[in-house]
Amino acid sequence: MNVPKTLAALALAGLTACTPTTTTTRVVAPAAPQSPSVPAGPVLETAASAAARQHYARVQAQLLSQGLLRTDGGGRDTPFTDRMLAENFIRIALFDEYTRTSNGPVQRTTTSRIRKWQAPVRVGLRFGATTPSDRRAADTARIASLLQRLSRATGHPIGLDERAPNFFIHIVSEDERRALGPQIRAVLPGLSSSEVAAITDMPRSTYCLVYALSAPDGATYTRAFAVIRAEHPDLLRLSCLHEEIAQGLGLANDSPTARPSIFNDDEEFALLTRQDELMLRMLYNPALRPGMTEAQARPIVESLAARLVGGES
């Protein structure tokens, strides 16, 4: 695959997620990285990983103490109309928060196009050696359940598949993430050194991230690479999985007006909400084709929102 000749669309979703997307001129399928084997014995936690684990435990406790990280999906206190759903969809699916530059991502809101997968999404899990077998089993079961939910919401084939994955999820510690460079380049060889470094050296303020790579049309996803911090406590870990996988499906931006939604930097909701599921259903409706602009998509989006929600228009 050649390095893109033009700047690709890129979106970084605030504090808890980042979703850069890159357009390529040619796609070559490299060999899929093999999942690390379960270590024969316990792997000692490093000082860097222990510090990160303690930090994110405090972060989760603080957010919960403020009534954030809700898991109820929204309720009577978070009503939304078809008009709100349509506008939130436009802002999240058809705008990018960040722009790709030679020095890495720069925060600059830009218009985008409809982006989504056409091929089945085949998710491969990659655990670092420090993740014990019981934690691997629990994460795998949770991810399998989430993928089933996303497949139902979108009507698109999404599931675990280690035979030929195209959506890689790495659950790794601080030290393991810093060694991911070869795996990142194997899956996303079009990334620059600064973009690879943005993953391997990501700051504490970035909880997790996903990069999605598109075909020559710039709108059809073919590969994705997500990184989840192994040091996260249970709810932050699950929240990252919900947001990064959903963003890697094509809802790449955040909006401060989207409520109830995980596509919002305020951390009110930890897990996918009813509105998020409706936005995914809209995105994968065949009427919305990859590459559509806002002008092309808006009447379709408004019609779909009215059918799904009704009410005020």
Domain range annotation of the chain: 9-27+48-308
**Average pLDDT of the residues in 122-137:** 96
Which sign does the torsion angle of CA 268, 48, 168, 132 carry?
A: negative
**Average pLDDT of the residues in 99-121:** 84
Which sign does the torsion angle of CA 262, 268, 271, 275 carry?
A: negative
Give yes or no for a contact between 50 and 241, defined as CB atoms under 8 angstroms apart. no
Global pTM reads: 0.86
**Average pLDDT of the residues in 89-106:** 81
**Average pLDDT of the residues in 90-100:** 86
CA distance 221 to 288: 15
Greater model confidence, 100 or 294? 294
- What's the confidence (pLDDT) of residue 90? 97
Name the pLDDT band for 310 (thresholds 50, 70, 90).
confident
Residues 6+ apart with CB under 8 A from 301: 86, 89, 90, 282, 288
CA distance 143 to 169: 10
CATH class of the region 9-27+48-308: alpha beta
Tokens (6 digits) for 132: 């014990």
Give yes or no for a contact between 9 and 113, defined as CB atoms under 8 angstroms apart. yes
- What's the confidence (pLDDT) of residue 248? 96
Considering only CA atoms, which of 97, 146, 100 is closest in space to residue 249? 146
**Average pLDDT of the residues in 272-277:** 98
Ramachandran quadrant class, 155 (left: phi over 0; alpha: psi -120 to 50; beta: rest): left
